[in-house]
Chains A and B, each alone.
Chain A
Amino acid sequence: MTAEVTLLRHADVLVLGGGPAGAWAAIAAAEAGADVVLADKGYCGTSGSAAAGGNNLWYLPPDPALREAAMDAREAIAGRLTERRWMERVIEETYHQIGRLAGWGYPFPVDEGGVERRGSLQGPEYMRRMRRKAHRSGVRILDHHPALELLATPDGTAVGAAGIRRQDGGGRWEVRAGAVVLATGGCAFLSGAFGLDVDTGDGHLMAAELGAELSGMEFSNAYALSPAYGAHTKGLMMQFASYYDEAGRPLELGDMGTARQAVARLLADGRQVLARLDQAPPGLREAMRRSQPNYFLPLDKAGIDPFTQAYPVRLVMEGTVRGTGGLRVVGEDCATTVPGLYAAGDVATRELITGSVSGGGSHNGAWAISSGTWAGAAAAAFATRGEGRARSRPAGRAGLRPHGPATGAAAEVVRAVQDEVLPLDRNYFRTAAGLRRSLTSLDRLWTDVAAHLSGEGRGALRARQAAAMVAHGRWMYRAALARAESRGMHQRLDRPEADPRLARRIHVGGLDEVWTAPEEPKEAVA
């Protein structure tokens, strides 16, 4: 990367990513007295899955019985990978912070019984308020400043980041800081799912270049239903769906849990599946429209009434956004294994609260709020200790500083990764043989990327994103190979049952050489 530095800032805490996790982190750090810069790839307020999609929240009033029941329900499906203590903390923190959001003026609705409903947030409204609050807290926001690499001291402490100013001529920006919060989201491999194209796993790659470890990367194959022509992966309304084949015959697919897998099987086999929300009680339909306009708007525009007309669906890959894998956190403050580097939101593993099943649509939203708040406060405290003010070096490699002649084309790399990770018959339905085949391709691709891929201006971001996706794909499939069983969203056709010896998390890491290691089992796993 050769661009001249055209913007240099100093801060106590640098937050990368301006979705909910980044915004909560920036606010928490500022409230702890830190001078904060938040840099977003796009625009803080519209960037990320929450702004586009909205959030239901794991929101529970302080009623012990209610909270116990909610934790029990999640543990029953989460594959024994959760930790009760983390669930309790997230529920409590989310409840507290949502109370503050109400105080900042978020217009929570009141139901017919006069009760304010705080368990769901509309994305644009939520993130517009979060931006305003961050701004009023003194956070300096840099929009359209994608980060490409971390800055690190010789001993490997994260002390800032650098990237490009994509709407200002593509010059280089650098922020030197006392600590860094990564809130860059998960990775959806540019599948097109609405709101998720900013989520290309850039933060995971930057962290791994400083030796950060990941966990749960086998739980990275979340797919969600959208209209076949579009990319609007809204799940909530599908609870009212009936499914039909191409001839309009009803498909008997069982309840919601089994229906998803049956739909995936049919689509993987090249069949057409149509959905119609005919199970929605007529009296509820107007309320459904009001609660999630972004489910209905794309259908309205296409001239489809989903209550009366069946529309073809497809499954769109949402990777580790709706999946659960990500950077391993090693403390209650969301510290990563890299000093000075904290992880918040979807870039971090969410196994602690949702295990092997998707946290999309409630748990992930609560996690963003909680982990953001903890990471922001911890980063502020770390920065005050002043360990990170030493000399620093830029740490980016693959896609940024190739070690051979620059010849690669990012678009080709992206297509090659997508060929391995998007198809249902490779990633939703996994086999050891298929995973090995994909890994052979992805490993070769990585060697190539590390040697040759780079770009200038906006092209630098595209190259870096492509490199991040290759890395993500390799961690995902290496972990999937190590988990020689089926558990939660990770379904292995060749190992259809759960293996009790694998009721533990699997760590993964490395770039040129990818490694996996099962976590030591806890005493007395239930």
Chain B
Amino acid sequence: MIEIVSQERCIGCDRCVEVCPTSVFDTGPGGIPVIARVQDCQTCFMCEAYCPVDALFVAPQAEPVEPGSPLRDEAYVTAAGLLGGYRKKIGWGRGRTPGALRAVGPDLPRPTPAPPRKEHR
């Protein structure tokens, strides 16, 4: 779930308020977004992808992390290079190559038929 809106990095563009599909953010004082409905966060990372200054961190847990967790600690998360991580991975942002361009992965396996069932007559 969304854990961090970096007060230091945020420029108050409110892009996250706009793009969050479940409308977790509200515009707060001075245009800085506030996490208004954390329980509606579905951990989809889309806000990270759209934030132009890598000010957001969404923890991978489907519930809020423990109060003492490093994933709530902006200094730790910043040092670990995790702020805005998704945007980097998909290659969004100035000077980056779109990740889609490099996405040659494994093919889908051919589906295995269910074990044959005797159809009774």
Contact = CB atoms under 8 A, between A and B. Distances in A.
Contacts of B79: none
A198 B46 contact: no
Interface of B: 17-23, 40, 42-46, 49-50, 59-62, 71, 82, 85-86, 89-90, 92, 98-115, 117-121
Contacts of B82: 301
Contact of B89 (A43, A51, A108, A297): A297
A310 to B, nearest CB: 17
| Max count, chain A CB within 10 A of own CB: residue among B17, B21, B89, B110 | B21
| Max count, chain B CB within 10 A of own CB: residue among A48, A56, A120 | A120
A42 B23 contact: yes
Given A124-B46, A230-B61, A499-B120, A290 B22 contact: no
B60 A256 contact: no
Contacts of B89: 293-294, 296-297
Contacts of A239: 106, 108-109
Contacts of B109: 239, 256
Given A106-B100, A500-B121, A291 B111 contact: no
Contacts of B101: 107-109
B121 A52 contact: no
B18 A73 contact: no
Contacts of A500: 119-121
Given A230-B43, A300-B85, A257 B114 contact: yes
Interface residues of A, number: 79
Contacts of A292: 103, 105
Contacts of B21: 41-43, 46-48, 51-52, 195, 197-198
B42 to A, nearest CB: 4
Contact of B99 (A108, A125, A496): A125
Given A73-B110, A125-B98, 16 more contacts: A42-B22, A167-B17, A192-B62, A194-B43, A194-B45, A229-B61, A230-B60, A257-B115, A290-B103, A293-B89, A293-B99, A297-B86, A298-B60, A301-B71, A497-B117, A498-B117
A410 interface: no
A120 B45 CA distance: 20
A77 interface: yes
Given A56-B108, A109-B101, A497 B114 contact: no
A227 interface: yes
| Max count, chain B CB within 10 A of own CB: residue among A56, A106, A194, A240 | A194
Given A46-B21, A297-B60, A232 B90 contact: no
A43 B20 contact: yes
A144 B19 CA distance: 9
Nearest to B109: A239
Contacts of A8: none
B60 A361 contact: no
A362 interface: yes
A497 B104 contact: no
Interface string A63-102: 0000000000110110000000000000000000000000
